[in-house]
Amino acid sequence: MIAKRPEKHRIVITGVGLTAPNGNDLPALRESLLRGQSGVTRYETRYFGPTVAGVCQFDELRYQRRKEVRRGTRAGSIGIYCAREAIRDAGLDWENTDRSGVGIYVGVTEHGNVETENEIYLLKQYDYDTQYWSHHHNPRTVANNPAGEISLNLKVTGPHYTLGAACAAGNAGIIQGAQMLILGDCDIALCGGVSESIRTFGIFASFHSQGALACHEDPTKASRPFDADRNGIVVAEGGCMFVLERLADARARGARVYGEVVGYAMNSDAYDFVLPHPERQAECMELALRRAGLAAEDVDIVSTHATGTTTGDVQECLALRRVFGNSPRTLLNNTKSFIGHAMGAAGALELAGNLPAFADRTCHPTINLDRPDPECELPGLVANEPREMAKVEVILNNSFGMLGINSVVVVRKI
């Protein structure tokens, strides 16, 4: 049973804007997920060389001039595109919106690495003479940059900031937006996550040295969470921003509602730099469900975090079996198998890809699951082909990150 909550505490999703390696809006992403279409491709980056990655192909000049793109950041461009698309999708009368009542909350894994690497590379031609260092460096690399670029582009005068939450950041952005609406700090929240990670060679080199970077002769088969032949992470870029509003405000303007954010939680493993802790992950899911007034048996779809690493997938499965082991009707899927790991954007993109299930009553699959790892056994895991369902009323979205940060968001159909 859903816990009864004050009307002003009922927060709903009314707009979705995104770019993913296999789609630049929600209908395109959903179609790719149901057709089994991967967005992972061959990719080559400075110093590291050939690899595979999830690469986005959105039109960055749709909402920016060339000068603005050159001056800003890839993360900023992704954020601007997604925020603008979310506003359009929500049907907001933007010209007549009080922009002092709009808050921007953007989750990121990291920021500034891309710009710093590029600027040092360009400085080589001047024998590292720092008088030629870019005067754009500081605004490009400050931690609030992606949210700040969105604020500048949209002329939003309400609060803006980024949330550094590793790969839990997409969910963290949603949670922050919901909390600020409940507190009355804003009337519209633009929130979610962005990632520009493929633009830095360092992330590929680091995962490779860790033995956690995926490789496969067929790029579309490189990302294979839960499979016995998985060999690491496929790095991806992307972004997803949501428009969140109070339910009463959404109804007053006749907005379409994708779903209601009924529960969320964040906690910390306090365990290891990179190795996850299944007990803490399970506790995060259980806390989100308690706050939603739901039992595990009430959840129709669980969007898993699994990245394709040998240890990480097993640890999450331990947590999932603890929470959903007695819920045979709950189905589970994984979106990273299609697009790779979009880092700070992952949680937001993965939630977005599952939201249409409320309408089409279909659980998209986990692809590339050819030889399931016995240690990753999950009875409800949907493999390779979509599965139709009698109903979809509750979705639980997992996102976990380095240094032991965990986030869970629960959304229900209205």
pLDDT of residue 7: 78
pLDDT of residue 5: 76
pLDDT of residue 251: 97
pLDDT of residue 6: 81
Query: What's the topology of domain 263-412?
Result: Peroxisomal Thiolase; Chain A, domain 1 (3.40.47)
- The set of residues, in sequence order, having a beta carbon less than 8 Å from that of 44 and lying 6+ positions away, is 50, 51
Exposure string for 374-392, b = 16+ CB within 10 A, e = fewer: eebebebbbbeebeebeeb
1: pLDDT strictly greater than 50 = no
CA-based R_g, the chain, Å: 20
Considering only residues 208 and 2, tell me which one the structure prediction assigns the higher pLDDT: 208
Mean pLDDT of 220-226: 98
CA dist list (Å): 378 to 2, 236, 375 = 26, 26, 9
pLDDT of residue 262: 98
Mean pLDDT of 79-106: 98
Q: pLDDT confidence of 47, banded at 50, 70, 90?
A: very high
341 is a catalytic site residue: yes
On average, the pLDDT of the chain sits at 97
Query: How far apart (Å, rounded) are the C-alpha atoms in residues 94 and 105?
Result: 18
Exposure string for 42-78, b = 16+ CB within 10 A, e = fewer: ebebeebeebbbbbbebebeebbeeebeebbbbbbbb
Q: Where in the chain is the domain with CATH 3.40.47.10?
A: 10-252, 263-412
331-333 β-sheet, strand order: 160-164, 102-108, 188-195, 238-246, 11-19, 259-268, 405-412, 394-401, 301-303, 331-333
CA dihedral (268, 270, 275, 276) positive or negative: negative
**Which residue, chain included where needed, has tokens 């960055």?**
60
379-412 per-position pLDDT tens digit: 999 999 999 999 999 999 999 999 999 999 999 9
311-363 per-position pLDDT tens digit: 999 999 999 999 999 999 999 999 999 999 999 999 999 999 999 999 999 99
305 is a catalytic site residue: yes
Is-contact 336 219, C-beta < 8 A?
A: no
Catalytic residue, from 56, 82, 167, 240: name it: 167
192: pLDDT strictly greater than 90 = yes
Q: List the CATH code of the domain at 10-252.
A: 3.40.47.10
Mean pLDDT of 57-80: 97
pLDDT of residue 154: 98
pLDDT of residue 334: 98
Q: What is the pTM of this model?
A: 0.96
199-212 per-position pLDDT tens digit: 999 999 999 999 99
Query: How far apart (Å, rounded) are the C-alpha atoms in residues 239 and 246?
Result: 23
Catalytic residue, from 111, 160, 277, 305: name it: 305
First to last CA, the chain: 14
CA dihedral (367, 365, 192, 403) positive or negative: negative
3: pLDDT strictly greater than 60 = no
Catalytic residue, from 111, 216, 277, 341: name it: 341
| Closest by CA position to 194, among listed 40, 54, 349, 389 | 349
Neighbours of 39 (CB within 10 A): 25
